[in-house]
Amino acid sequence: MKMFSMDKKDILLFLCFSVAVLTGPIILEPFGAGYPDLLQKFAIFGIFALGFNILFGLTGYLSFGHAAFLGMGSYTAVWTFKLLSMNPIPAIVFATVMGGLFAALIGFISLRRSGIYFSILTLAFAQMSYNLAYSVLTPITNGETGLQLNQADPRVLDVMFGRDYGAVLPSSDFFGLDMTGYPGFYFCGIVLIICFFIAMRIFRSPFGMMLRAIKSNQNRMNYTGFNTRPYTLAAFVISGMYAGLAGGLMAVTDPLAGAERMQWTASGEVVLMTILGGAGTLLGPVIGAGAIKYFENIFSAFNEGILMGIYDFLPETLQHIMVSVSGLFVGEGWHLTLGALFMLIVIFLPGGLMEGFNRIKTLVTNRTGGGSDGAATPAAAE
Amino acid sequence: MSKFEINRRGLLKSTAAAGAGLALPTMFTSSAWSAGYLNEPKGSTVTFGFNVPQTGAYADEGADELRAYELAVEHINGEGDGGMLNTFSSKALQGNGVNGKKVVFVTGDTQTKSDAARASAKRMIEKDGAIMITGGSSSGVAIAVQGLCQDAGVIFMAGLTHSNDTTGKDKRANGFRHFFNTEMSGAALAPVLKNNYGSDRVAYHLTADYTWGWSQEGSIKKYTEALGWKTAAAVRTPLGAGDFSQYITPVLNSGADVLVLNHYGRDMVNSLTQAVQFGLRDKQVNGKDFAIVVPLYSRLMAQGAGENVKGIFGSTNWHWSLQDEGSKAFVKSFGQKYGFPPSQAAHTCYSQAILYADACQRAGTFMPSGVGAALEGFEFDGLGNGPTEYRAADHQCFKDVLVVKGKENPSSKFDVLEVVEVTPRAQVEYPADMLGGELGPYNNGA
């Protein structure tokens, strides 16, 4: 049990996180986000951002190519479905392993440089992977159309155990439990909780401390005769494995892998998620991932009809004005809202949403005269 | 370590909020499980899901598609002038909704990305209870969403998708396509090319490097080589290249006298503009005037390319200047509502919405297998393409194909294409098993 000897606060944090994830469908229902697909996205991108944060939040290496590992995980998972079995376990195991291997390869080369050069190198590798997947490697990736399942796939393991899907297109199932809808969300949710636990252990470990030291002053580390490369590479590979796992889960809940998962916009998205939530904090990236996915799916769906309904209580002329003004920010304008929000957060809350929560927290404790935290330390996020 | 303490307290608060949330009655009591099929409409309305690109390269097409859908919903619900419902050969729809239920709709942005398109389709199915998904402005997205609808158990009515694969290799029982495909484009274009350019030509292809481009290149090669044309080279260009000059320069030295541009959207606008600016069309090769062909035309693209489209041949699914009753009715009601003529994307989407609603009405249900049976082998007229059939074997519509040419003397900025020939349906028909793939059984969900 030594391994599980955790700080009391950490245990509480972990338990609260687990409860929040598992009751997600209920908590998010009032916000219109309590439907399986979006919940799955929350969990999956939460994992992706958690992993990204291990690299960016701890070592400060800003990778602009993490989508390549996500895509790699998806392709691996779909191929596992096609060749071996529709069970999600082999799929996510292979996806994680392939994500890690691919990260080791790219990391080995890119980590020779740091700062902007590192970012550009990772961006270049990811864009290369995207173009390969989009056209050159079409026999493997099915190009623009995306890799999909087929009735005629071999599925060696399934055949061996006498599983027959008949004439319908199979969907992934966990020993008979269909991986779409709520079971799919709970599967992803439990994986997210495990990932959160691992990330927490990494944050609290001497290894995590070493990574923070690299972030604060890598030169000094080197001068003391310390070789930082293995540590940064390890962090890169771990975050690549997280990304591969997330990609694998995307394929589990929706058996399709498309090249655009590897595009630079997807890499940029995870950077946004992490910064929006709070880089270097444990919870921040998960919250950031949730916020961005919420905007993408809910705000983009507001159309004129819905807006009319919202402003129903106003007199008609005012209603029309309000609808046309707010129409700019919803529907196809959701990018604008997200951009504005991102700017506000970066300017006023450089530590992301987590800093915001902490400030509110400090405000409340000071007012109630608690103040047991000592000095208000908004420096939670680096 | 103070930050974790703060987190803990913040979390305690949010847990308290979660407790309040727990008290809310939730969707676990949903009646969806007892329904005979997924999202069976129980109330007085039925929800359609319109999944179109609102951002990205095809946002123009997407916006036009959405306009057409809104118009179709109006007409189905008996508002407006009825549009093509008045000319449609099936009179099942009475202008009081479908099966006695008023049609409402939800929209989503595909961003022309398979993942985003599937996510927004899933939202419409899982959250908004959409009974049918329609839309799409590129084949990759249409195929991805079609697969999703098959898995989920709702009908997918494909919008603008031209690749053979949609109703070929990747066809699904729950998916239906009204738009034509590259095979039909090739079959329709070839005779016109022969009449205008002769049967002794050498073609040079520039092809967008993805599934649709290859599909297009394959079909054009197949039919032109059958005429006796030769293919000098087929060069793949990356999607969204922007600058095509490096691909166009080698064309003149290749001995080719026809350039085939298998591009769509902005790629086509850019490559055609550059090819014309390079003076290709003024050249003489092998003693013949150099020619350019754009196999898939759309009015929006032709407008983008401006002057450069004059005299260039291509094929299209529909054009607003057609003079049959259906087209006239559609152009009139679209024009009255929005002030400009509809594009072919708008036309195919409008038709798909009407065809779906009509099939539901005739079947008396929204159950995918029932609606599908009503669409399979359905023969109709009056939707702007002449007599048309939804072939049962691959869920593809068969109808006449338009061969068009960039107009020499356009009378307005919308009047950029003229119809050269209407290739009859018999000439573009092919056996259903030629393109491979398997429909599989219908999925009713639930």
Answer yes or no: do B390 and B270 share one domain. Answer: no
Distance CA(B60)–CA(B320), nearest Å, equals: 17
* pTM of the shown model: 0.81
Give pLDDT tens digits for A212-256: 999 998 888 889 888 899 999 999 999 999 999 999 999 998 888
Q: Examine the pLDDT at B314 and tell me if it is beyond 70.
A: yes
Distance CA(B149)–CA(B144), nearest Å, equals: 9
Count of structural domains, chain A? 1
Distance CA(A180)–CA(B334), nearest Å, equals: 40
Answer yes or no: do B310 and B354 share one domain. Answer: no
Residue A174 included in any domain: yes
Range of the domain at A54: 2-263
Q: Which of A60-69, A186-195, A365-374 has the lowest mean pLDDT?
A: A365-374
HSE value, Cβ hemisphere, 13 Å, CA-based, for A319: 13
Answer yes or no: do B90 and B153 share one domain. Answer: yes
Answer yes or no: do B391 and B342 share one domain. Answer: yes
Answer yes or no: do B273 and B170 share one domain. Answer: no
pLDDT recorded at residue B391: 94
Residue B125 included in any domain: yes
Distance CA(A30)–CA(A37), nearest Å, equals: 16
Count of structural domains, chain B? 2
Chain B positions touching A303 (Cβ under 8 A) are 106-107
CB contact under 8 A, B210 and A374: no
Answer yes or no: do B245 and B367 share one domain. Answer: no
Q: Provide the residue type at A100 as one letter.
A: G
C-alpha torsion angle, residues B304, B307, B311, B317 (rounded to 10): 20
pLDDT recorded at residue A1: 42
Distance CA(A291)–CA(A261), nearest Å, equals: 19
Residue A312 included in any domain: no
Answer yes or no: do B213 and B157 share one domain. Answer: no
DSSP state of B95: S
Q: Examine the pLDDT at B33 and tell me if it is beyond 60.
A: no
Residue B430 included in any domain: no
Percent of chain B whose predicted confidence (pLDDT) is above 70:
92
Residue A288 included in any domain: no
pLDDT recorded at residue B214: 87
Nearest CB neighbour to A13, from listed B11, B55, B440: B11
Q: Provide the residue type at B94 as one letter.
A: Q
Beta bridge partners of B285: B288
Percent of chain B whose predicted confidence (pLDDT) is above 90:
59
**Which residue has better confidence, A309 or B298?**
B298
Distance CA(B215)–CA(A286), nearest Å, equals: 42
Distance CA(A326)–CA(A314), nearest Å, equals: 14
- Three-state SS sequence of A328-349: CCCHHHHHHHHHHHHHHHHHHC
Answer yes or no: do B149 and B242 share one domain. Answer: no
Residue A378 included in any domain: no
pLDDT recorded at residue B24: 41
Q: Examine the pLDDT at B34 and tell me if it is beyond 70.
A: no
Distance of CA A335 to the CA centre of its chain: 19
pLDDT recorded at residue A371: 45
A366 touches chain B (CB under 8 A): no
Q: Are B271 and B297 in contact (CB under 8 A)?
A: no
Answer yes or no: do B113 and B193 share one domain. Answer: no
CATH of the domain at B253: 3.40.50.2300
Residue A95 included in any domain: yes
Residue A143 included in any domain: yes
Distance CA(A359)–CA(A378), nearest Å, equals: 7
CB contact under 8 A, A358 and B3: yes
DSSP state of B98: B
Distance CA(B3)–CA(A358), nearest Å, equals: 8
Q: Are B372 and B441 in contact (CB under 8 A)?
A: no
Distance CA(A283)–CA(B287), nearest Å, equals: 72
Q: Examine the pLDDT at B159 and tell me if it is beyond 90.
A: yes
Question: B258-262 and B175-177: which strand pairing?
Answer: unpaired
Distance CA(A71)–CA(A69), nearest Å, equals: 5
Answer yes or no: do B152 and B196 share one domain. Answer: no
Nearest CB neighbour to B11, from listed A16, A256, A377: A16
Residue B279 included in any domain: yes
Range of the domain at B304: 183-316
pLDDT recorded at residue B377: 94
Give pLDDT tens digits for A128-163: 999 898 878 888 888 777 888 877 788 888 888 877
CB contact under 8 A, A256 and B147: yes
Q: Which of A132-146, A257-271, B326-340 has the lowest mean pLDDT?
A: A132-146
A377 touches chain B (CB under 8 A): yes
Minimal CA–CA distance to B142: which of B133, B131, B129?
Answer: B133
Answer yes or no: do B113 and B234 share one domain. Answer: no
In this prediction, residue B225 has a pLDDT band, given cuts at 50, 70 and 90, of very high
C-alpha torsion angle, residues A146, A152, A156, A158 (rounded to 10): 100
The pLDDT mean for chain A works out to: 86
Residue A142 included in any domain: yes
Q: How far is B279 from chain A (nearest CA, A)?
A: 30
ipTM of the complex: 0.75
Answer yes or no: do B199 and B254 share one domain. Answer: yes
B126 touches chain A (CB under 8 A): yes
